[in-house]
Chain A
Amino acid sequence: FDQEKKIKNRESFSFWIPSQSNVCCPFKLTLSSLIVARVEHLSPPAKMKIMVAVKRVIDYAVKIRVKPDKSGVETQNVKMSMNPFCEIALEEALRIKEAGLASEVVAVTIGPKQSIDTLRTGLAMGADRGIHVEATGDLFPLAVAKLFKALVEIEKPGLIILGKQAIDNDCNQTGQMVAGLLGWPQGTFASKVVLDKEKQEVMVDREVDGGLETVCLNLPAVITTDLRLNQPRYATLPNIMKAKSKPVKKYTPEELNVGTKSDLEVVEITEPPKRKAGVLVSSVDELIDKLRNEAHVI
């Protein structure tokens, strides 16, 4: 079917506000009995690796313009930076490592040649190693998830953390698809993550429509981060210098045996229609007249 992509207004992240209908305080629901984790292999607890996905997107402060030919969004001469949710994901991974619960944080990016800059930012924040899968063209979440699965089979991490969505396509699919492909449990929209190494499980507070939901996942697991999880750290100058010498491994989709051709094709991208000015009506009759004859809604 026709797919019309809407360019969202970039001015604010989707600020989620808990609905206060029946709930006066967030409720906890432990679903550990309902979530079945198929544990394929337990890495030795001491050497747990965390894999973090980072994506190079148009900087959130930039005003987006649609290309005149409607084939996409203007990306030439536009500032690019790391997806804000990916920064939060990386920050969480670094905190887990600094707490001694993980030994290594690997930052992974999938994208064109310039994505290496984003990876270097991730390394400057504190990731130990980087992996760059060089792939050009539009990559849809399923292809990204498949590439991820291939990398997981090589790297064998104990935890995967991703941002909940990328601010350029707002898909909110990759994390879930990765978990599905691997058969791992997932804790999405995480606003709090507590790792228990002894029991090899992680408690994730999820921001859901009704409030907060706490799930307990067996490791290895997939977590996607939401806005309120943490405040990402700044990359300091000395760390940026050190990042230059951190190793980055390159792959291509062919090397990983993953086909990136998608069944979806973006047909057209247009700006949202301009808001028309409102009209003040002077009487109820006029309102009814407009509703009937102009708007055709009654």
Chain B
Amino acid sequence: MNRLVSFRSKSRIGTTPCSSSFYARLLGSSIDASRTRSTANASDSLATVSRCSSLVPARTLTGSSLFGSRNGSSARLSNLTGHGGSQGVARRFCSDAAAERESMEYDVVIVGAGPAGLSAAIRLKQLCGEKGVDLSVCVVEKGAEVGAHIISGNVFEPRALDELLPEWEKEEAPISVSVSSDKFWFLTKDRAFSLPSPFDNKNNYVISLSQLVRWMGSKAEEYGVEIYPGFAASEILCDDNGSVIGIGTNDMGVAKNGSKKENFQRGVALKGRVTLFAEGCRGSLSEKIIKKYHLREKRNAQHQTYALGIKEVWEIDESKHQPGAVIHTLGWPLDQKTYGGSFLYHMSERQVAIGLVVALNYKNPYLSPYEEFQKLKHHPAIKPILEDGTVIQYGARTLNEGGIQSVPYPVFPGGAIIGCSAGFLNVPKIKGTHTAMKSGMLAAEAAFGTLLEGSNLDSYWTTLQNSWVWEELHKARNYRPAFDHGFIPGMAISAVEHYLFRGKSPFTLKHGKPDHEATNVARSHSPIEYPKPDGVLSFDVPTSLHRSNTNHDHDQPAHLKLRDPEMPTQVNLPEYDGPESRYCPARVYEYVPEESGQLKLQINAQNCLHCKACDIKDPKQNIEWTVPEGGGGPGYSVM
């Protein structure tokens, strides 16, 4: 039976009980957009806050000026007028929602201040400087500051950064630790076997991506890019032709029951002649775009496959610290049927990054990636490194493993998708930062051409396929799908790929089932007994969560929506024994007994790390991750 863990609530990481009436009202709004809502106070404010599944057709805004000439980089503020629609109490969220908010216009709006988004912004401004024109570029970021939601291993290949900002070393980028050693271990429960390292990290660096992105943000601001952290893009705005014309930010100050608090602020419409989506893996708006414009079907791409990475940064003993040491492991604690591995990178200042990546197509619903990570730290080869150390930060994020087979067509009317939202991670190299950055740069060049010369944005797709990104991903395409056949076949095929074909193999393997379909029913597996945390090397979820500096304003509607509110108790719990209570690295989902003794799903949305694992792994795809009020979420600084 599912082991229920209820923990004492701290003020921020508390359990937030959802009363059933609120639940019903909230979920009622997420079921069908076309049904006009009857609950008055839920209608207007919940409308824009809760729903992002349909695209919002914005009415005639400052229509003509939208495509007029730009002068200077300052955005023009304009109020939407002349909507003409009725402003009755029961509103349809899409049409009227756009009417009453302020709009700001830019040439390019970029959603997400990560490596891809900031690379695109910087490249645009560089091109402006080269050609002597000016374009207004705006980047919105849902994290409280640039870098707050950035988490990655990270062994950095500076290839794209060398192209973008060749003087990065002189300009004091936080890239200082060269890779000094590269080890690859196969772990069993008690031993570690050294294997030849398949990686070539000679000219790479061990960095904190969060710090690098923060530095890139300051560089972007020097170029004149406007970056607005603390604002979450929650809606896609499109015109009557169905082209994307921008995004709308979240309403702020909406209470849990949907009513407006005294500090209610309507979201803002950010309109761009080109909109680039750089939301990272499984971006909420990017997924909607891909669905709406059938971007996967457009190039016969497969579904995306994912993995969940859970990471901690430790400060260890000076004597054990070897800056630049890189260790990757395979095997224990994961079994032969589960793809994944761990990493341990020595950064600067006595810090090490350690993490476990578990592919989300695992079959056992009782698997808990978080607990597997805790187990890993006790391995006799890993434990000595961490002993006498302290954990500085904790975090988790999903990453894409689909490679070339899963990249959707990245251009749609009005914009493009860049970075991990499209999915350019090189799985055998386990690096996605450099390809994300390059994709941002290429999209920027295409957008520049579109805005100034009227060329087609599809040129982004062409340049992408002719670039080293595609070449790299093409060579890497068979490694991950090989493991769908099992560990030994996977290793065998990988060896053949690497040593024999050297990337020129004549075949392309396909991915297996989508991750959410891969979960077996609970009765074909037995619960896994995980060891209790010892408080020194392994910890319980609330302790770890505290280290992620996660916070959300507790008085806001839960941002995790259930498409069918009954499904958790009718399907997830009986069939799969509530896997969301195990794979979520933040203990957002808990099955707690009601007064009647029945178990009910409780969503502690305040804990959410924005990792998107639930959106990916929920067996019936019932959980939808939507963006909460801007400024909330984790606060990574060295991840």
On A, residues with C-beta under 8 Å from B are 11-12, 59, 61-63, 65, 77-79, 81, 230-234, 236-238, 240-241
Contacts and interface: CB of A to CB of B under 8 A. Distances in A.
B549 A63 contact: yes
B388 to A, nearest CB: 13
Given A61-B635, A237-B270, A241-B75, 9 more contacts: A11-B10, A12-B10, A61-B551, A77-B211, A231-B253, A232-B263, A236-B268, A237-B268, A241-B226
Nearest to A76: B637
Contacts of B293: none
A276 B198 CA distance: 46
Contacts of A238: 77, 102, 104, 268
B12 A61 contact: yes
B228 A79 contact: no
Nearest to A117: B145
Contacts of A233: 253, 263, 265
Interface residues of B, number: 34
Nearest to B11: A12
A234 B263 contact: yes
15 contacts: A11-B546, A59-B635, A61-B550, A62-B549, A62-B637, A231-B262, A233-B253, A233-B265, A234-B252, A234-B263, A236-B268, A237-B102, A237-B231, A238-B104, A241-B104
A34 to B, nearest CB: 34
Interface in B323-373: none
A12 B547 CA distance: 15
Interface in B543-591: 546-547, 549-551
Interface in B213-241: 214, 226, 228, 231
Contacts of A240: 228
A147 B253 CA distance: 36
A231 B546 contact: no
B493 interface: no
The 7 closest A-B pairs by CB, nearest first: A61-B551, A12-B11, A234-B252, A77-B637, A237-B268, A233-B263, A234-B265
Contacts of B226: 241
Interface in B236-266: 249, 252-253, 261-263, 265
B144 A79 contact: yes
B432 to A, nearest CB: 23
Given A11-B10, A63-B547, A79-B635, A234 B253 contact: yes
A62 B547 CA distance: 8
Interface string B61-77: 00000000000001101
B261 A231 contact: yes
A189 B190 CA distance: 59
B469 interface: no
A100 to B, nearest CB: 19
Contacts of A241: 74-75, 77, 104, 226
B613 interface: no
B148 interface: yes
A59 B145 CA distance: 11
B164 interface: no
Nearest to B637: A77
Interface in B133-168: 144-145, 148
Nearest to B269: A237
B392 interface: yes
Given A12-B11, A77-B211, A236-B268, A59 B392 contact: no
A77 B268 contact: no
A61 B263 contact: no
B476 interface: no
B110 interface: no
Interface in B528-544: none
Contacts of A231: 253, 261-263
A151 to B, nearest CB: 29
A91 to B, nearest CB: 8
A275 to B, nearest CB: 11
A79 B11 contact: no
Contact of B637 (A12, A78, A234, A236): A78
Nearest to B266: A236
Contact of A236 (B214, B265, B547): B265
User: Which of B211, B249, B635 has most chain A Cβ within 10 Å?
Assistant: B635
